Amino acid sequence: MSDRIFLLRDFPLFKDLNWEMISVIEKYIDQVFYGEGEEVHRKGEISSSIGIIAYGEIELKDDEGIIIIIGKGQPISSGTGLTPEAHKETAIAKADTMIFKIEQDILFNIMSKNSDITKIVIRNAVHLVETQKDRR
């Protein structure tokens, strides 16, 4: 199995999918590279994909400065990634970084063809939202 599959399996939205389900999603993952200092996204931009850091580090900054530095296995935006959402921070690659991305439309297409994947992803998304709500 590829490293991509293991990284996807650790991602909260996909964590309960079996290996076969993960391998279906893995086929549609894009690898996007960012050099040190390159902007990944800007605060307020709308995201239509799910992004997971494969390697490297990203600084998340708001208008007042660095909020946090995130790394391997972490999502590049808050929320579930299942709905278009404005980024709350600007993200800049702190080092050479690769991000695995899957477009929402592609994931929804996969889900429309596999009810088991849909059930698990939706359940995990609800759990993720509840967990984020508890932290506020």
> What residues contact 96, with CB distance under 8 A and at least 6 apart?
33, 34, 35, 36, 56
Q: What is the C-alpha to C-alpha distance for residues 7 and 14, in angstroms, rounded to an integer?
A: 10
Position 117, amino acid: I
Per DSSP, what are the bridge partners of residue 132? none
**Which pLDDT value is given to residue 1?**
58
Q: Which domains does the chain have, with CATH numbers?
A: 3-135 (2.60.120.10)
**pLDDT tens per residue across span 31-42:** 999 999 999 999
> pTM for this structure?
0.85
Give every residue of the chain whose pLDDT is below 70, as ranges. Answer: 1, 79, 132-136
**Which of these, 31, 51, 40, lies nearest to 98 by C-alpha position?**
31
Residue 46 token pair: 């709308």
